[in-house]
Structure 1
Amino acid sequence: MAPHRRLTQSGLTQSVRVTVLSAAAATAAAALGGAPASADPHQTAESARARVDRLYEEAEQATEHFNKAGERVERLREQVAQAQDSVARGQERVNRMRGALGSVAGAQYRSGGMDPALALLLSEDPDSYLDKAATLDRISERQATDLQDLLRAQRRLGQERTEASRDLAELERSRTAVVGHKRTVERKLAEARRLLNSLPSGDRAAFDRASRSGRGSLPALSGLAPASPRAAAAVMAARSAVGRPYVWGANGPSGFDCSGLTQWSYAQAGVGLPRTSQAQRYAGRQISLSEARPGDLVAYRSDASHIGMYMGNGQVVHAPYPGAPVRYDPVGMMPISSVTRV
């Protein structure tokens, strides 16, 4: 029988090294989505970067839903406040009318008894009075008019209370939607960050360089002038924002998302734009890309979930996505859905 071969120290070291390297390769593959060790590392990194880009796009779409819901919350909050104020004023009017008619009832009681019609309408349910209109001949014409005015005021007050309650319920639903959209954005951004962190440092650095390939300085502009003084003022504001960070849900001045940047820029020109890119695309006259002049809004993707401002010379200023600050990029950086002149 041949003697057992003893494993040398160098052989042991080599064996351990192979095992460790194999485990490391498996771990890296798992971090990149469970790809087998035999997969092309270049393709794996490319697929990871493509997934990050999709997550950023989906997060931007969710951000637009968040902004839209937030805008609705603000509008409903104003409606609720106005409705509640109207209800309060209506209640004061009803109280005054009831008080005046109560004085009439008191005088009648002291003089020999309250008129049944007046007692009916001063009750908590005066609507039944209409079924007994014949009793109106027991009181004066002026009192009858006052009683009918009270009835109409009480009906209007009830309607206003119903509308206020409906607006309040819709406000609560919209607030819930805001929270839901916020969670969606945060989840997608967190997933994108985890995926980026799982990349080897070289691939991560390459992605960072690619994501910041836009121009940070003012490009050479063509001879085209903005279409209006307000567009010129918006262009100057957008230029001043270059380099500031992308912050989802923000509309300046320290950070912006895409529609927040265009809204803030036009606000500096005294022009109010809607909060979302989908609404901004309809905030003016739509023109062809060949007609674009500085200050025009360029909406991207079929759902207009991204927007930038044309600056001339084939460039737009926009807030790209987290990690990439406000910058200049080619106008054709992604599919264009519309160009709008505000």
Structure 2
Amino acid sequence: MNRRRGGMTLGLLCAMAVLGAPGLAGTAYAAPEPPAARTAPGKSLEQVRKEIEDLYRQAGTATDAYNQAVADTKRQSDQIVALAKQIAAGQDRITVLKNRAGAAARAQYRSGGLPPAAQLAMSEDPTRFLDGADRLRQGEKATADTLSELNKTQADLEQYSKDATAHWQELEANRVKQETAKNEIEKKIKAAEELENKLEAEEKARLLQLEQEAQYQAQKAWLNTGALKDVKGAATDAGRKAVQYATAQIGKPYVWGAEGPDGFDCSGLTSQAWLAAGKGIPRTSQEQLRLLKKVPLKEMRPGDLIIYFDDASHVAMYVGDGAMVHAPRPGRKVTMAGAGSMPIKAVVRPDA
């Protein structure tokens, strides 16, 4: 068997092992027709599976919105803190400038506040007066500079205050988005769990089989397109470190909004894996798609991120040989699966 063919087979075998699907020596495993869910009259268990899957998909989309709102809230909060420091420093500077201007005014008062011509007329020593006049001009310039800086600092403070108000309003708006997304996540997960909890133990086991079968069939169809035919990219050092981190998390539960160490959501896993490799990347799958470099599928290499679904609501890390590691959904654990077991939207590269 040549290397290319072997790579494709290894990818499929990897997906088989992970998904618990049958081997290649025969047709794809076809689960026996399951009975209709007892608690859902008129619906087959496959229909129930798709309904549950759709609810978790919606929860995943809301999770991405929640994570983005959290990131935006933190950024706005940091900017408000920075502006507060600038305002405090500006107020201290104004105090210093006012004291300096006051000292200049008091000095002029002590000199009688006479104009230079009058002082020249009253002076018995013109040379001494000229020296004093020069110092007076320097003092006047310093006073003018002080007043100019004072005005600029006051203008800066006004702008800082406006900026802080704007950031505060954005902070509050992001908090509202965060709470809205959280409620949406909890609602969708609760609905999915209620559907699943109505099933008997045997039906739950069949449901898992159907889930694995759907992923197996999707992976098999993807491989049959020859998608991996030209994929030969080797991981960089950073990519290997990212893969090592991600695969070390296998078995830990999916927890929405989590970035470890005890649980992860999908983008929490990929962002933390690359952080462990020394590269900070965006927190959400949608931002990872938007900001990281897109690469053609044929150039995919271990460590690259695979973005799934049209709304970019899921992300996984490619580990090679047609497999990926990801945090699937609530109720599941970090695992390896076939890279083509879900609809691929794009491949992005953190260390481009």
Write the mapping of 1:83-122 to structure 2, written as runs, cut at 5 A.
Answer: 83-108=83-108
Residue matched to 1:8: none
Residue matched to 1:268: 276
**SS of the residue 1:307 aligns to:** strand
- Asked whether 1:159 is paired with 2:167, we answer no
Asked if the contact 1:299–1:307 (Cα under 8 Å) also holds between the matched residues in 2, the reply is: yes
**SS of the residue 1:311 aligns to:** strand
Write the mapping of 1:146-295 to structure 2, written as runs, cut at 5 A.
Answer: 146-211=146-211, 226-295=234-303
Report the alpha carbon displacement of residue 205 of structure 1 after superposing the two structures with TM. Answer: 2.4
**SS of the residue 1:152 aligns to:** helix
Report the alpha carbon displacement of residue 105 of structure 1 after superposing the two structures with TM. Answer: 3.2
Find 1:340's aligned residue among 317, 333, 348.
348
Report the alpha carbon displacement of residue 282 of structure 1 after superposing the two structures with TM. Answer: 4.2
**SS of the residue 1:340 aligns to:** strand
Residue matched to 1:68: 68
Alpha-carbon separation, structure 2, partners of 1:154 and 1:254: 49
Asked if the contact 1:56–1:192 (Cα under 8 Å) also holds between the matched residues in 2, the reply is: yes
Report the alpha carbon displacement of residue 283 of structure 1 after superposing the two structures with TM. Answer: 4.7
Residue matched to 2:53: 53
Structure 2 gaps of 5+ residues are: 1-36, 116-136, 217-228
Alpha-carbon separation, structure 2, partners of 1:67 and 1:268: 19
**SS of the residue 2:72 aligns to:** helix
Write the mapping of 1:27-46 to structure 2, written as runs, cut at 5 A.
Answer: 31-32=39-40, 35=41, 39=42, 43-46=43-46
Find 1:325's aligned residue among 313, 317, 333.
333
Q: How many residues align?
A: 279
Report the alpha carbon displacement of residue 174 of structure 1 after superposing the two structures with TM. Answer: 1.0
**SS of the residue 1:271 aligns to:** coil
Alpha-carbon separation, structure 1, partners of 2:294 and 2:141: 62
Alpha-carbon separation, structure 1, partners of 2:91 and 2:114: 25
Structure 1 gaps of 5+ residues are: 1-27, 116-136, 216-221
Alpha-carbon separation, structure 2, partners of 1:170 and 1:265: 30
Report the alpha carbon displacement of residue 107 of structure 1 after superposing the two structures with TM. Answer: 4.3
- Asked whether 1:140 is paired with 2:140, we answer yes
| Paired residue type of 1:185 | I
TM-score norm. by structure 1 comes to 0.75
Which of the pair has the greater relative contact order for Cα pairs under 8 Å at 6+ separation? 2
Alpha-carbon separation, structure 2, partners of 1:87 and 1:100: 20
Identical positions, percent: 37
Asked if the contact 1:226–1:295 (Cα under 8 Å) also holds between the matched residues in 2, the reply is: no
Residue matched to 2:309: 301
**SS of the residue 2:157 aligns to:** helix
- Once superposed, which parts of structure 1, at least 4 consecutive aligned residues long, lie more than 6 Å away? 212-215
Report the alpha carbon displacement of residue 332 of structure 1 after superposing the two structures with TM. Answer: 1.0
Q: Deviations over 1:208-250 (max 9, x none)?
A: 34456789xxxxxx99564310001111111111111101001
Report the alpha carbon displacement of residue 114 of structure 1 after superposing the two structures with TM. Answer: 12
**SS of the residue 1:144 aligns to:** helix
Q: Deviations over 1:55-76 (max 9, x none)?
A: 0000000000001111111111
Report the alpha carbon displacement of residue 290 of structure 1 after superposing the two structures with TM. Answer: 2.4
Say if 1:54 and 1:207 are closer, same or farther in 2 by CA, change over 3 A.
same
Q: Deviations over 1:153-185 (max 9, x none)?
A: 111111111111211221122122111111110
Say if 1:114 and 1:169 are closer, same or farther in 2 by CA, change over 3 A.
farther
**SS of the residue 1:281 aligns to:** helix
